[in-house]
Structure 1
Amino acid sequence: MGRAVAGMGSAGIFSGSLIIVAHAIPLAKRPLFNGCISSMFGISSVAGPLRGGLFTDKVSWRWCFYINLPAGAVTILVIAIFFPAPNHHNKKTTWTERIKKFDPMGTTLFLPAIVCLLLALQWGGTTYAWNSWRIIVLFCFFAVLIILFSVVQYTQKENATVPRHILSRRTIWSAAFYSFSVGAAFLSSVYFLPMWFQAVKNASPVSSGIMNLPMLISVVVTSLLAGIIITFIGYYTPFMILGSILLAIGYGLMSMFHTDTSKGIWIGYQIVTGAGAGSGMQQSLIGVQVVLPLADVPTGTAMIIFAQTLGGALFVSIGNNVFRNKLVEYLAKYTPKVDVASILKVGATGLQNIVDKHDLPGVLHAYNDALVQTFIVSAAMASISMIGALCMEWKSVKGKKLAPGGAA
């Protein structure tokens, strides 16, 4: 329950920060500010696990959660003091009408549908067999709930979670597809790359976070550079295409990791991958803000962030399934005498401390070959994201002289 509440808060923080930018900054200057926010997202994606590992090693895992309380309090205070509430054009809206705009029926159907899908993907092939009745029931519930959700969305019209006039825009569904694919690739690798460092390179949680810094720095630098360049040239679509290309190349290179990969190689491959994420991830949000009026920007922004987060959540589960199944296969191939259950139970951290020295090379070989399969999945999703990038409309943030919150 606590993680669910924290997740809702996290979603509100990221989308809320982008909506604040939409209200406060003219469209032509937004790429730079969105680049700053995206660089913060890149920092948090890598620095968060690093901080968590540090707390776990040095203090207590509980501080991974406690630290959010003072940080959240400071953030609330700053927003309350420095960000005035925007003026709403229609102040006569009743509370009932406002609640309807949240689409409670659609939300009630959609959330459990996603939970069923995530549980099925996480448990299938690992905790339970794919043909287990539990997995089948979860997939059936997901299908039924999604169908009911689609019916509700059709009948609710403009009060739907995603109104038809927004979803029908080419840029919107293209940006959502792009964000889903890039989120699937990037967020999955953020989970599995530290695991590779811990298992194959015998790094501690803190050390694996430090070894992730090349990707972090690359994401931050390229996010800012992309924002600056787009502010001058106006066009964001080329950076989405560039991001897809660099991500696919980066993950393709990372899929060639082996147990004796040198430091220079894994640093260089991370830089390429981070450059792809930094170049493209935030541009779908710019596209949404270009084509939508201010009143629809919050909905469009939330849709893109949801697609990105959903892609990451689904493909962490899918990647974990691929990893565990391949690990079992490769352990049987390289070290048939090793107890597979004990290897799966101990995890990546401390793996080299429990495995017999004679069996260790084979176990590390199996771990490496299983983990690089997840990078192949990321490379595939990065390549697929090119479809969304190519389908985007070529519009410029400098198309019109707009006040803050305007649309081209």
Structure 2
Amino acid sequence: MTAATAAPAPMSHREVLRALSGLLMVLFAAMVSSTVVSVALPQIVGDLEGTQSQYTWVVTATLLASTASTPVWGKLADLFDKKRLLQIAIVIFATASLLCGLVENTGQLIALRAVQGLGMGALQVLVQVIIGAMVSPKERGRYNGYLGGVMAVSTVGGPLLGGAITDTDWLGWQWCFFLAVPICIAAFAMLSRTLHLAETKRTDVKVDYLGATLIAAGVSLLLLWVTFVGNDFDWISWQTAVMVAGSVTLLGSAVLVETKVREPVVPVHVLKRRDPALATVASLAVGMAMFGGAVFLGQYFQISRGFSPTEAGLLTIPMMFGVMIASAIAGRLVSRSGKVKPYIVAGTLVLTGGFSMLATIDHETNLVFMGAGMFLVGTGVGMSMQNLVLVVQNSVPLRELGAASGAITFFRSLGGTIGVSVLGAVLADQVADKIADGLAALGIDASASSGSSSLNLDAMPAPIAEIVRAAYGDATGHLFLISACIAAAGFVAALFLSPVRLRETVDLAETPAGEEPALANG
């Protein structure tokens, strides 16, 4: 049975900010660890004499471990001491980051990146769970601006930082990994002094190992398919049939297990309710649109427009500002009113509008117009992404906060992964067709010109390089059109959310078994 404890006293604003400083530091370290490496990865794999297949696995290993472990870490936060779990996650992540910078071959790097992914997934969900345990959903909105700012800075600033580190002779690519270590050490020390959560001691803890294993295996197989389909094998192939069927079987078995165990890793009974289900669908759509679309902006600026990696990062600053400003303003307005639906609806609408603007771009589009479109995309994300987490957290009691937060974070990450893969496949097909048409216009047989598939434009004859630049620029607009459609699906889901008012208490009042929590209408 769960030991009876008094309701935890709410932390003051000053106490929350002190603890939040350490939480934001580890969140930044976790999120920037992916973006800072992305620019340096070609040089890293080259120095380690790795292959193209190993290049892919350096990315995939982190992605698999992070996404598949997110719901598990979320559930562990419901069962065990949240602060202790966070400290363990910091140690795992920092140690793996340090060792990644000391590797001697790509095999070691792949293995350690998987361990780093475990810590990364833990930090991303535990930060949200702990914030949820410190303050009520209504007050939580005012802190979402800080989270949005960290996400924006790490997403846009990471490639800039990675390029600077890689181009600096006295640092080298190893510091792309070492960078996270001092941040984690400082955050660990700060959180040891400032983070004080009132934990409920439980004597009936029972970890759902079977459910966790089935979820991790099913998600891993699905992500492997998403990663390699369209490149290593066709969308319609025996490999696709085997991997999709295996993933569906594993995840279907996981759902059956989760509906029967007492402490499910993913709270199916919560996700079956209207608002959490709609918020999850909207979050999946926002993740697919945001990560799937924005990840190709850097490639567009570098390949199609000829900018350097550093310049490409600077050109995406409007999107970062949009996220920071919108998340800060929307968060404070949510805390004042307690109403969250209007901002989610407006955010997904603005996100759709921003991607609709970017859907019209080609290789000669005015950069001011692009900046306006990126600002709208960032604004839409800032208004909706964290507020969708609030909807789910507001609907569950404190004892289920970790599992619910882990579930929606997992679906958002899964949506981003699927979006990147699908849009990447579309981009490859579009580029191949446009290059073939351009070469045909010059009287060149595309099948005989293998050099046109390279991204080293400096090594190409000027006419062919121009065809490749135009192909990437014109094809990128199609990606944003798909992203706009996906964002529109999130807007439709947001429209059907209940106009609830966020509660002002950290925990949710107990309700009789089988009934949904009673939430105040807005």
TM-score, normalised relative to structure 2: 0.71
Structure 1 unaligned blocks of 5 or more: none
Q: Give 2:203's aligned amino acid.
A: K
What is the CA–CA distance in structure 2 between the aligned matches of 1:220 and 1:284, rounded to whole Å? 16
Q: CA deviation at 1:181?
A: 0.6
Report which stretch shifted further, 255-264 or 111-120.
111-120
The match for 1:386 is 491
CA contact (8 A) 2:278 2:493 kept: yes
* Residue 176 to residue 131, structure 1, CA distance change in 2 (3 Å): closer
CA shift for structure 1 position 388: 2.2
* Residue 228 (1) aligns with residue 339 (2): no
Matched residues in 2 for 1:124 and 1:87: separation? 45
1:356 counterpart residue number: 461
**Corresponding residue for 1:316?**
420
- Higher RCO, 1 vs 2 (CA within 8 Å, ≥6 residues apart): 1
Contact 1:249 1:272 survives alignment (8 Å) = yes
Cα deviation, residue 184, structure 1: 0.7
8 Å CA contact 1:181–1:382 kept in 2: the answer is yes
The CA distance in 2 between the partners of 1:366 and 1:134, in whole Å, is 30
Counterparts of 1:128 and 1:376 in 2: how far apart (Å)?
A: 25
Q: Distance in 1 between the 2:402 and 2:415 partners? A: 20
* Structure 1 stretch displaced more, 285-294 or 311-320: 285-294
- Does structure 2 retain, via aligned residues, the 8 Å contact 1:32–1:224? yes
Letter in 1 for 2:355: Y
Using the alignment, how far apart are the partners of 1:109 and 1:27 within structure 2? 31
Q: Distance in 2 between matches of 1:341 and 1:243?
A: 44
Q: 1:250 aligns with which of 322, 345, 354?
A: 354
For residues 56 and 135 of structure 1, the distance between their equivalents in structure 2, rounded to whole angstroms, comes to: 37
Does 2:470 correspond to 1:365?
A: yes
**Is 1:326 the equivalent of 2:437?**
no
Aligned mate of 2:289, from 158, 179, 185: 185
Matching residue within 33, 44, 64 for 2:176: 64
- Kept in 1, the 8 Å contact 2:435–2:452? The answer is no
Question: 2:315 corresponds to which residue?
Answer: 211
Assess if the C-alpha contact under 8 Å between 2:349 and 2:380 holds in 1: yes
Take 2:146 and 2:373, find their aligned partners in 1: how far apart are those partners? 23
Kept in 2: contact 1:43–1:216 (CA 8 A)? yes
Q: Relative to structure 1, is the Cα distance of residues 217 and 340 closer, same or farther in structure 2, using a 3 angstrom cutoff?
A: farther
For the residue of structure 2 that corresponds to 1:358, the secondary structure is helix
CA RMSD of aligned residues (A): 2.0
The aligned residue for residue 116 of structure 2 is: 6
The within-5 A match list for 1:116-135 is 116-135=221-240
Q: How far apart, CA to CA, are the structure 2 residues paired with 1:43 and 1:395?
A: 31
Separation (CA, whole Å) in 2 of partners of 1:271 and 1:256: 15
Q: How far is 1:369 from its partner?
A: 2.2
Moved more, 219-228 or 382-391: 382-391
Instruction: State whether residues 50 and 206 of structure 1, in contact with CA within 8 Å, keep that contact through their aligned partners in structure 2.
Output: yes
Deviation at 1:340, TM superposition (A): 6.2
Q: 1:140 aligns with which of 245, 250, 263?
A: 245
**Structure 2 unaligned blocks of 5 or more:** 1-110, 510-518
Amino acid at match of 2:232: T
What is the rounded CA distance, in whole Å, between the counterparts of 1:321 and 1:387 in structure 2? 26
TM-score (norm 1): 0.90
8 Å CA contact 1:27, 1:406 repeated in 2: no
Task: Note if contact 1:21-1:34 (Cα within 8 Å) is conserved in structure 2.
Answer: no
Does residue 413 of structure 2 align to residue 306 of structure 1?
A: no
C-alpha displacement of 1:277 = 0.8
Q: Give 1:127 shift.
A: 2.0
2:311 pairs with 1:201: no
Which residue of the other structure, out of 67, 70, 74, is the alignment partner of 2:186? 74
Q: What's the counterpart of residue 114 of structure 1? A: 219
Q: Which moved more, 1:14-23 or 1:278-287?
A: 14-23
Q: Structure 1: which amino acid aligns with 2:211? A: G
Which string of whole-angstrom CA distances, capped at 9 and with x for unpartnered residues, describes residues 107-145 of structure 1? 212222222222223322322233443333222221221
- What is the percentage of aligned positions where both structures have the same residue? 25
Asked if structure 2 preserves the Cα contact closer than 8 Å seen for 1:54 and 1:205, the reply is no
Q: Give the counterpart letter for 2:496 in structure 1.
A: C
The 3 A distance-change label for structure 1 pair 259 and 374 is same
Q: 1:116 is aligned with what amino acid? A: L
